[in-house]
């Protein structure tokens, strides 16, 4: 059954870009923007990460942290963070368990080839670990503003 607003966010522990374990429950008492993206250093993912970077002060002012998750490994995340000066944590879900728990693995096709991949998705999680909003099949253009607008209503 797909997650929906009002559901408890599935907890997890994943290695960060610094190869330290990070758990969702570590952020109780803060809101969390949990965004899933396909791959470091690709055009759409870079734009999305930079948009979150450029809006981070607005998120921080609302007691909100941003966490990015993809299947890339911690070393690749670290290089991506350094290259684009990303001031938030990237998490490595190399085996896809967290992606599965959040229901964001979907069939994709590229150049006539079909495969399973991460569907760009964002979850707004409140201070108690409850999902308040979900964006699936995210279009990067304007997405950060959508998230900020929703956050302003919480």
pLDDT average, residue stretch 17-32: 97
pLDDT on residue 154: 76
- Residues 107-127 have pLDDT tens digits of 766 677 776 778 889 999 999
Query: What is the rounded average pLDDT of the residues 9-33?
Result: 97
Task: Kindly state the percentage of the chain with pLDDT values over 70.
Answer: 97
Nearest to 92 by CA among 77, 108, 112: 77
Confidence (pTM): 0.92
Active-site amino acid positions: 45
Sign, Cα dihedral of 38, 30, 17, 52: positive
The domains of the chain, with CATH numbers, are: 13-153 (3.40.30.10)
Cα–Cα distances in Å, from 25 out to 31, 38, 117?
Answer: 11, 24, 26
Looking at residue 96, what DSSP letter applies?
A: -
Q: How confident is the model at residue 130 (pLDDT cuts 50, 70, 90)?
A: very high
pLDDT, position 17:
97
Q: What is the pLDDT of residues 80-91, one digit of tens each?
A: 999 999 999 999
Q: What pLDDT does 53 receive?
A: 96
Higher-pLDDT residue of 109, 53: 53
């Amino acid at each position: 059954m797909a997650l929906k607003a009002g559901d408890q966010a599935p907890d997890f522990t994943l290695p960060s870009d610094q190869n330290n374990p990070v758990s969702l429950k570590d952020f109780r008492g803060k809101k969390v923007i949990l965004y899933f993206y396909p791959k470091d250093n690709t055009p759409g993912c870079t734009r999305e990460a930079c948009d979150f970077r450029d809006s981070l002060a607005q998120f921080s002012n609302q007691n909100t942290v941003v966490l990015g998750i993809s299947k890339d490994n911690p070393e690749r995340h670290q290089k991506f963070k350094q290259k684009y000066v990303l001031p938030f944590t990237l998490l490595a879900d190399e085996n896809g368990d967290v992606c599965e728990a959040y229901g964001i693995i979907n069939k994709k096709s590229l150049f006539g080839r079909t495969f399973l991949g991460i569907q760009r998705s964002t979850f707004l999680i409140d201070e108690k670990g409850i999902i308040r909003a979900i964006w699936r099949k995210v279009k990067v253009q304007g997405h950060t503003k959508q998230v900020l607008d929703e956050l302003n209503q919480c």
